[in-house]
């Protein structure tokens, strides 16, 4: 807090700098902030998404109340940086109030939007009175998916479901906590109040609808 934060490399990726062989999607889940990439300044309001491609050497984060969530994956080529503000991506209205899962899905980085090597990323907001983030649960056999829950009230929690359909487990998740769903794990969740979450995937393809449903009647 109170100073700029550079994106540094890590010994585990064996690179001179973080994005030498990688790409990254960034979503701001806090107050306004900036991301500077090789001297170009991007202003991110709450809920905005920034894509930075392979080969960008210097990345610096700034903003007193900003909270940046990063999702990164290996990249085989370089795509241009792109900033998407809330509501500017592909917006899909999903679910129904009767089944408590009415939600607005914002697709930011995807095959028909901001281009990337393998990252697919967006933000979903549940409407007031809706608590289920997806139902039926599903798997992505060709991708790993990560959820970052945010806008979860202090006195609320999300019960996140994961595991095999015949042997599920649950996690109790609070505000700004993340869950990794491997390709074999289904995912769904229900909160004690409405909330939002960043979803991000990487793997064999970028087809958003490439998923296999796990009907609630099959879950154990």
Q: How far apart are CA 110 and CA 161, in angstroms?
A: 25
Q: How far apart are CA 220 and CA 207, in angstroms?
A: 28
Does position 197 have pLDDT exceeding 90, yes or no? yes
Q: CB neighbours of 177 closer than 8 A, spacing ≥ 6?
A: 148, 149
Q: Output the average pLDDT for the chain.
A: 92
The answer to whether 62 and 34 are in contact (CB under 8 A) is: yes
59: helix, strand or coil:
strand
Could you write out the DSSP letters of every residue in 193-207?
A: S--EEEEEEEES---
- 70-116 pLDDT, tens per residue? 999 999 999 999 999 998 999 999 999 999 999 999 999 999 999 99
Side-chain half-sphere CA neighbours of 154 within 13 A: 0
Side-chain half-sphere CA neighbours of 13 within 13 A: 16
**Cis before residue 122, ω within 30 degrees of 0?**
no
Phi/psi region, residue 203 (left: phi>0; alpha: psi -120 to 50; beta: rest), is: left
- In the predicted model, what is the mean pLDDT of residues 193-218? 81
**Under CATH, what is the fold of the domain 5-84?**
Jelly Rolls (2.60.120)
What's the confidence (pLDDT) of residue 200? 95
What's the confidence (pLDDT) of residue 212? 74
The answer to whether 9 and 18 are in contact (CB under 8 A) is: yes
Fold matches, 5-84 and 90-218: yes
The answer to whether 73 and 22 are in contact (CB under 8 A) is: yes
May I ask the CATH architecture of the domain 90-218? Sandwich (2.60)
What's the confidence (pLDDT) of residue 147? 95
Give the phi and the psi of residue 28 in degrees, each rounded to 5: -90, 115
Q: How far apart are CA 19 and CA 9, in angstroms?
A: 8
Question: Model's pTM, two decimal places?
Answer: 0.92
For the chain, domain boundaries: 5-84, 90-218
Query: Which residue from 210, 203, 174, 202 is spatially nearest to 189, judged by alpha carbons?
Result: 174
């Amino acid at each position: 807090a109170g100073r700029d934060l550079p994106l540094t490399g890590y010994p585990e990726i064996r690179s001179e700098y973080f994005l030498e062989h990688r790409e990254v999607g960034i979503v701001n889940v806090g107050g306004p902030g900036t991301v500077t990439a090789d001297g170009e300044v991007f202003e991110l309001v709450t809920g905005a998404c920034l894509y930075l491609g392979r080969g960008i050497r210097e990345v610096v984060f700034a903003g007193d109340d900003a909270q940046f969530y990063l999702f990164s994956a290996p990249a085989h080529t370089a795509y241009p940086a792109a900033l998407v503000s809330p509501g500017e991506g592909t917006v899909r209205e999903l679910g129904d109030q009767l089944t408590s899962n009415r939600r607005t899905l914002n697709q930011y980085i995807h095959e028909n939007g901001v281009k990337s090597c393998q990252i697919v990323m967006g933000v979903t907001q549940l409407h007031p009175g809706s608590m289920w983030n997806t139902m039926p649960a599903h798997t992505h056999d060709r991708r790993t998916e990560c959820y970052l829950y945010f806008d979860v009230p202090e006195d609320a929690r999300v019960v996140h479901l994961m595991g095999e359909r015949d042997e599920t487990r649950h996690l109790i998740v609070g505000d700004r906590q993340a869950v990794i769903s491997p390709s074999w794990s289904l995912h769904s969740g229900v909160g004690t109040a409405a909330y939002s979450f960043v979803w991000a995937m990487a793997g064999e393809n970028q087809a958003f609808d490439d998923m296999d449903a796990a009907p609630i009647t099959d879950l154990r």
